[in-house]
Amino acid sequence: MKTRCVAALAILLSFSVCCAQTLPPNIQEAVVLYQPLDMFPVDLNAAVYLNQNNGSQGSLVKVDPHTLELTCIEVSSKPLHLQLVVPVVGSITKGDTLLILLEARTLEHDAAYESGRLHLNMERRETWTKSLGYSSAISDESQLLAIPFIAREDIAPSQGQVTIPIGYYPQKIQIQHLRLLNFGTQIQVDQLSTKQYEYEGYQADAPWRTLANERIETHRKAPLNITVLDANQNPIPEANVHVQMTKHAFPFGTAVNEWRMIGQAEKDIIYREKFESLFNRATNETSLKWTSWVQPSRQEMAMQTLDWLNDRDIPVRGHTLVWPSWNKSPAFIKDLQDDPQGLRAAIESHIREIMTACQGKVVEWDVVNEVHNNRDLLDVLGDEQMDEWFRLAREIEPQLPLFINDFGILQGSAGYELAKQESYYQLVKGMLDRGVPLDGIGFQSHFRLYAVTPPTRVWEILDRYAALGLKLGITEYDFAWVSEAFQAQYLKDYMTACFAHPSVNQFVMWGFWDGSHWREDGGMFALDWREKPSLDVYMDLVFNQWWTDENKVTDAQGHIQTRGFLGEYKLTVTANGNTVIQTLSLPKDGSSLQIVMP
């Protein structure tokens, strides 16, 4: 105990004497009260090193025992190809509350960006599974960062590490007084700090919010003009008109678990009820992938799910025709790696078979998925073989939009996975230049931990791809491994930013219930169907803020004028004791309607 007390005092002393800024009082109190373990080596400078891979170039200068300077000279395909590595010497238990402390500032940065960028990871060696991913812009003034987080797994001594990737773009940053403290289970994360919930534009009065609302008003609504007449075509003043939206035109969707969609257990029934009440678009989560399609039972499940959705007039995204990896294809495909002609024929046969089977049941297809990281088939056939897959898909389904889909573009490295963004852009542009029938670009959007992309950065990325003239789809959104409060906070901002962008044509989640989600806490419902704060956010946006339900009274000419969100409507008109109910669609160019009362 005496040793831990001395260590706690040493932590406070080091920050009070050496740092430009003092620790917040609540952290000072927590250090004294709970005496956390310092998880870094005593001689930190001797233990840290700079890891460089894949052509990245940089330097590490150990200025003094408390100060490190990191420089990125040449970027590679990923920021983590150039990163500082700090070994963790102690053991960590799943559920421990950990706190990273440091001071950081930018010394130099690429003139194309407003500041330098700091990213922090806490991970287990060898598996590279992460308990922390945090990203922030850093100015040329020293900033004290206190980032608490929860350990997501047990980590044995010397098996953990903190990394600081710096290869976003050429920059030079300074790190001082870096510490990793382990409080065990004595204190909750939010008691230490809420800094981890902050990102550029998170504030309630951030200027981007006003611009987002203006864009939504312009691009997601249209004029609606109604004239109410009597049987003699005379206008009826003071008629009551209830303008009631019944369905969004904009697709708000989710991936669906096929077992839940056809099962009869109580949870399956609840699952379908929740889905149908919340969404107007679906993606079969696994059963249309090639590895599933070759299994007769999974193929039958796929078709049953499609039928259930089609019967309820819920459009379905087809996902995915080709996932060009040996691991993501049926086992027999790898046997063709030395037979390009046979491999090419097998892929084309699959595309024909599944698209023919699903004709009339899906409204668009992801033709290729995650090509940046999955290249086995293309290494055999050549990159331009993708062109032929798109051309074949267009031949089979001439009217269906065809998408390419990938991850790490909007969410990678908090929106600064620059090399992958460039690769994806050039891939799409090259296909368009070659006349490939590509209609849309999919952005998966799997967020985790605290490395979120600020809304204005989301717009910057989308703007660049929108200039290519294609539809942009948010195809697989989720946000996991954070507090429920932060999950809700970012869902609101990310959905708003995407809905406000005129080129975005859908927002599809990758699951909505923790009991059927690839990330155990990524849904809007907990395992026991408890409603999380993110569900409240979703409901408020989709069915309140972006929903039209108004009562109007006609003027002397029998007119009402309003603007409504694009979609389907029920109009209820009451005048002189009579009521007429009529439906209409409100498209982008607006709608005008005359209603004649009996």
Map residue 594 onto helix, strand or coil.
strand
Decide if 406 contacts 422 (C-beta within 8 A).
no
Give the closest residue to 453 by CA, choosing from 497, 422, 483, 488.
Answer: 497
Rounded CA gap, 21 and 594, in Å?
68
Answer whether 98's CB lies under 8 Å from 88's CB: no
Query: What Cα–Cα distance (Å) separates residue 142 from each residue in 19, 104, 116, 138?
Result: 9, 5, 12, 8
Q: How many CB atoms lie within 10 A of CB 83?
A: 26
Residues of the chain with pLDDT > 90: what percent?
83
Q: Outline which parts of the chain fall under CATH 2.60.40.1120.
A: 221-245+559-596
pLDDT for 2 equals 46
Residue 113 has what pLDDT? Answer: 84
pTM of the model: 0.90
pLDDT at res. 195 = 81
β-bridge pairing 221-229 and 591-596: parallel
Q: Which two tokens stand for residue 593?
A: 């309607």
Convert 493-515 to b/e letters by CB count within 10 Å (16 or more is b). Answer: bbbbbbbbbebbbbbbbbbbbbb
Superfamily in which the 2-197 domain is placed by CATH: Galactose-binding domain-like (2.60.120.260)
Can you tell me whether residue 279 is helix, strand or coil? coil
Report CA torsion sign: 564, 569, 570, 571.
positive
* Two structure tokens written together for 27: 């952290």
- Tens of pLDDT, residue by residue over 210-248, are 999 999 999 999 999 999 999 999 999 999 999 999 999
Question: CA quadruple 448, 451, 455, 457: dihedral positive or negative?
Answer: negative
Residue span(s) of the chain under CATH 3.20.20.80 come to 248-545
205 vs 392: CA distance, rounded Å: 49
Q: State how far the Cα of 340 lies from the Cα of 406, in Å rounded to an integer.
A: 25
The Cα 597–Cα 236 span in angstroms is: 9
- Would you put residue 469 in left (φ > 0), alpha (ψ -120 to 50) or beta? left
Tokens standing for residue 156? 């044995």
Q: Which residue has the tokens 């049941």?
A: 361
| Distance separating alpha carbons of residues 302 and 127, to the nearest angstrom | 33
Query: Are the CB atoms for 565 and 248 separated by under 8 Å?
Result: yes
Residue 595: which H helix or E strand, with range? strand 591-596
Q: Quickly name the fold that domain 221-245+559-596 has.
A: Immunoglobulin-like (2.60.40)
The list of the chain residues with pLDDT below 70 reads 1-21
Distances (CA, A) of 152 to 24, 82, 532: 26, 25, 20
The tokens describing 213, both together, are 């609302």
Phi, psi of 411 (to 5 degrees): -100, -15
CATH 2.60.120.260 placement within the chain: 2-197
Output phi, psi for 413, to 5 deg. 50, 45
Phi and psi torsions of 130, nearest 5°: -115, 145
Task: Mention every residue, 6+ apart, whose C-beta is less than 8 A from residue 115.
Answer: 106, 109, 137, 138, 139, 140
| CATH class as words, domain 248-545 | alpha beta
Taking only the tens place, the pLDDT of each residue in 25-68 is 899 999 999 999 999 999 999 999 999 887 778 999 999 999 99
